[in-house]
């Protein structure tokens, strides 16, 4: 996704996507411990970091991201290719953009929103995303939300000449364009999820990241 903020600065969220090699072992174990379901989606799938784990616990998986993110060539699974090309041979994994996701009318059993809210610079749009995830789930379905609220890299980033504090986060400029990394506390995350209508929230913390599993 891309967001235009003041002074015509365009934040490119695809710049914040991390490779499979940087997947969280804690989250991989959390996903593997979930029950098997029929249909799941990964909202903001990025570089497909957690696809393997999600696919093992779902009959069908829908990957969702911006058109730019799913079509651009990047290093995935050891080769330069688009996310669309990486999954095109699978008959149970599909990849769609955010507009297509809105048009999908079949309810999902489970949804993932992994390190997505933190890179959205507009607070009201974070709420829109959580509300959207709630709406796409069947009654009794569940969602897994993850944000990183503390990281030693944040202090290092703030010392760089091309970064500065902005809207309770860090705005960074590089050759690839602008990126944003927001600070969302565990309390803020649980409040946002609860206000969307979710219940039975289960919060866990690990190495500066907050994990919420919630029911619709």
Q: What is the pLDDT of residue 133?
A: 98
Q: What is the pLDDT of residue 184?
A: 92
CATH of the domain at 47: 3.40.50.150
Bridge partners of 79? 76
Report the distance separating Cα 157 and Cα 140, nearest Å.
Answer: 41
Q: How many CA atoms lie within 13 A of 140 on its CB side?
A: 2
Report the distance separating Cα 46 and Cα 51, nearest Å.
Answer: 10
Q: What is the pLDDT of residue 152?
A: 66
Q: What is the pLDDT of residue 15?
A: 67
- Considering its fold, how many domains does the chain have in total? 1
Report the distance separating Cα 43 and Cα 133, nearest Å.
Answer: 8
> What domain range is 76 assigned to?
2-215
- Tens digit of pLDDT per residue, the chain (216 long)? 776 777 778 887 776 777 667 789 999 999 999 999 999 999 999 889 999 999 999 999 999 998 888 888 888 888 899 888 889 889 999 999 999 999 999 999 999 999 999 988 888 999 999 999 999 999 999 999 999 887 667 777 777 888 888 778 888 888 788 888 888 999 999 999 999 999 999 999 998 899 999 999
Pinpoint the alpha helices (H) of the chain: 25-32, 51-56, 67-71, 83-87, 98-103, 123-136, 152-158, 186-195
Q: What is the pLDDT of residue 55?
A: 96
Q: What is the pLDDT of residue 53?
A: 95
Q: What is the pLDDT of residue 209?
A: 92
Helix (H, G, I), strand (E, B) or coil at 116: coil
Report the distance separating Cα 137 and Cα 141, nearest Å.
Answer: 6
Q: What is the pLDDT of residue 145?
A: 98
How long a stretch of residues is the chain? 216
Q: What is the pLDDT of residue 10?
A: 82
Bridge partners of 61? 40, 93
Which is it for strands 169-174 and 163-165: parallel, antiparallel or unpaired? antiparallel
Q: What is the pLDDT of residue 144?
A: 98
């Amino acid at each position: 996704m891309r967001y235009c903020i003041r002074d015509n600065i365009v934040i490119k969220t695809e710049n914040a996507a991390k490779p499979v090699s940087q997947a969280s072992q804690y989250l991989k174990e959390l996903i593997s411990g979930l029950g098997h379901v029929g249909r799941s989606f990964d909202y903001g799938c990025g570089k497909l970091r957690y696809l393997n784990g999600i696919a093992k616990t779902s009959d069908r998986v829908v990957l969702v991201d911006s058109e730019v993110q799913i079509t651009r060539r990047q290093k995935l699974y050891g080769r330069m290719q688009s996310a669309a090309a990486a999954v095109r041979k699978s008959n149970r994994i599909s990849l769609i953009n955010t507009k297509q996701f809105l048009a999908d009318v079949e309810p999902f059993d489970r949804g993932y929103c992994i390190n997505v809210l933190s890179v959205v610079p507009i607070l009201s749009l974070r709420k829109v995303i959580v509300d959207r995830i709630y709406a796409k789930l069947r009654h009794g379905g569940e969602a897994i939300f993850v944000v990183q609220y503390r990281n030693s890299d944040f202090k290092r980033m703030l010392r760089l000449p091309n970064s500065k504090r902005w809207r309770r986060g860090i705005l960074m400029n590089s050759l690839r364009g602008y990126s944003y990394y927001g600070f969302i506390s565990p309390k803020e995350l649980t409040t946002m999820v609860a206000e969307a209508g979710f219940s039975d929230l289960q919060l866990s913390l690990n190495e500066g990241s907050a994990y919420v599993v919630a029911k619709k």
